[in-house]
Structure 1
């Protein structure tokens, strides 16, 4: 029997990047793209290499293009790290695994290095598959922690927690990463939101603006750790913005949500250097009347639009600059 599982890209609606700094965020996953895993029993454990893992190239240009697309490392290290973390979790929790092996294949069409959590989607889909194969249940909050530990602990990739939380719950989620709560229970307080309350969202991206999350987080983490006042105040404000956005959702207050999304990006811009191309993408979206901020670390943006007339103007404006614009199909499993 073949087990097939899926996971989806994450869109950070509000509050990012405070999720890595005891802040508050709202995020959802959307099914316009996806990562899928096929796992089946075999005599030996085997990971089948996929496009991200190729080691043979037509020429140097092809190698460089592949690095620009997928970075220097493929997906193989992700899967190895996930196997290690899953196995150690089961040992530590006295979970007896049946004596059987598997072969794993994976695929993903999630645009990489655009702040859409493509690597954690591969990990989430794989962890789902292993849980089904070995008949192990892991509650969503712990599931998210395990996926994060692969990237942070095993591979040294700086990342916040919200990506994996949204992928674990597969619903829009409000997340409070209060420090005392995190230290006490090992994860934050998570509240599933009513997707019917969400405004009209668009997502836009331009692949040549891709930027790994570590590019942004490394400097910010150091500044946070030394207690730079400007950074601490920004984290506090991002938490307030997220609370205010949640209240506006309940009231269906589009104008407030629009303003808060813009403030989220403007605060980030005041704190972290942002490339000219990314700034231009945000400014073009705003010129069409939409709100705009990053979905993650950069390369893709998310925002709200009021009606189809505004969406049409937004799409025309960005498409003229080779920027893709989509309406996210928000997952609410």
Structure 2
């Protein structure tokens, strides 16, 4: 039995246990994993193409339990309302921001209700519940921790209200994105697509298709195509994000030729990467990963990327491994095409700098879907 087959068995066993538990208590538990942008980002926000995979190492878990009133439970660690001192409060907001997961759960409930109303899906008003969440996805690590909470919460709501067959798979990423847009969070579809579909997915955000159907073309791929010796490297003390803002979108909207051309080139890396994966061409894959980061650095500049984020990439590259951000920064993907000896050097180099280096374990595919949303 392969590792992927074992993971599939684990998913089935977990689903069976969840069904038994729900029959007894009505409790629903759903997970959404972290994600790694393999190639193509940031072109996903610019009608480009990407490849992402679901990272089994980390996940957000949402639990829905039927209750007399509707309750959203704050997480004791991620939604604190009590601090030892004012200094501790300031320290918390400086590293974690002002919001935890409660607002995500509130917005998920609101947008789910709106979606059902907009699509004439009847849901009862008296089927109340309590929502709580937990997550082990590292904060500010560019691994899509917020969208994981949203996707897991929506999965609970779909099941609770028995509407899984009424909400097409292909529409669910857009629904998840609308939750964060409700909160004024700027984001793209890539993260929500991979957290809905799982496994490994090639995505084409073609402008005409996006305009016509409100989503892209999503092609699930065999996760077994990914080569071994892939790692996620991150810091337990990430840089504070948002200090320096990029003007990339303004330049893109203005049609600046160099920006448009560079983003088209980044999108092409995903297209070339899909071919490399299918052909087992690890050398080309490594080259594309490196070029993807180099173009991101050119587009955004070092001030936006941040010194610590750049340092992580440089540490990975110091042993000859390929590297790029997993998302917008905070963690990086490392690929060692030379195998075990290079992997050992990578772990040693990361440990020396105080960076975590974990093998990238790919979560199995959750669905097989086509453009029209059929399963």
Shorter-chain TM band: over 0.9
Q: For 1:33, what is the secondary structure of its paired residue? A: strand
In the alignment, which of 173, 184, 194 is matched to residue 144 of structure 1? 173
Partner residue in 2 for 1:267: 295
Alignment of 1:59-138 (within 5 A): 59-98=85-124, 99-137=126-164, 138=167
TM-score, with structure 1 as normaliser = 0.96
For 1:77-105, what per-residue CA distance to the aligned partner results, in whole angstroms no more than 9, with x for missing partners? Answer: 11111111100000011111123111111
Distance (whole Å) between structure 2 residues aligned to residue 215 and residue 172 of structure 1: 32
Please report how far the alpha carbon of residue 227 of structure 1 lies from its aligned counterpart in structure 2 after TM superposition: 1.6
Distance 1:45 1:217, change over 3 A: farther
Aligned partner (choices 66, 69, 72) of residue 41 of structure 1: 66
Question: What is the alpha-carbon distance in structure 1 between the residues aligned to residue 362 and residue 354 of structure 2?
Answer: 24
One of 237, 255, 260 as aligned partner of 1:232: 260
Any conservation in 2 of the 1:205–1:323 contact (CA below 8 Å)? yes
Q: Does 1:254 align with 2:282?
A: yes
**TM value normalised by structure 2:** 0.85
Q: Distance in 2 between matches of 1:71 and 1:332?
A: 32
Between the aligned partners of 2:345 and 2:262, the Cα distance in structure 1 is 32
Question: Contact between 1:265 and 1:293, CA under 8 Å: does it hold in 2?
Answer: yes
Give the deviation of 1:210 after TM superposition. Answer: 4.1
Q: How far apart are the structure 2 equivalents of 1:113 and 1:139?
A: 31
Structure 1: tracts of 5 or more residues without a match: none
Per-residue CA distance 1:118-148 (angstroms, 9 max, x = gap): 0000000000000000001222221110111
1:184 matched to 2:212? The reply is: yes
Residue range with higher mean Cα deviation, 216-225 or 262-271: 216-225
Alpha-carbon distance in structure 1 between the residues aligned to 2:247 and 2:240 = 14
Deviation at 1:277, TM superposition (A): 1.8
Distance 1:142 1:79 in 2: 19
Distance 1:217 1:21, change over 3 A: farther
- Determine helix, strand or coil for the equivalent of 1:52: coil
Whether the aligned pair in 1 keeps the contact of 2:246 and 2:300 (CA below 8 Å) is no
Once the two structures are superposed, the pairs formed by residues 192-211 of structure 1 within 5 Å of their partners are: 192-200=220-228, 201-210=230-239
| CA distance, structure 2, for counterparts of residue 211 and residue 79 of structure 1 | 24
Change (3 A) 1:108 1:68: farther
Partner of 2:323: 292
Contact 1:209 1:298 in 2 (8 A): no
Mark the CA change 1:116 to 1:68 in structure 2 (over 3 Å): closer, same or farther. Answer: farther
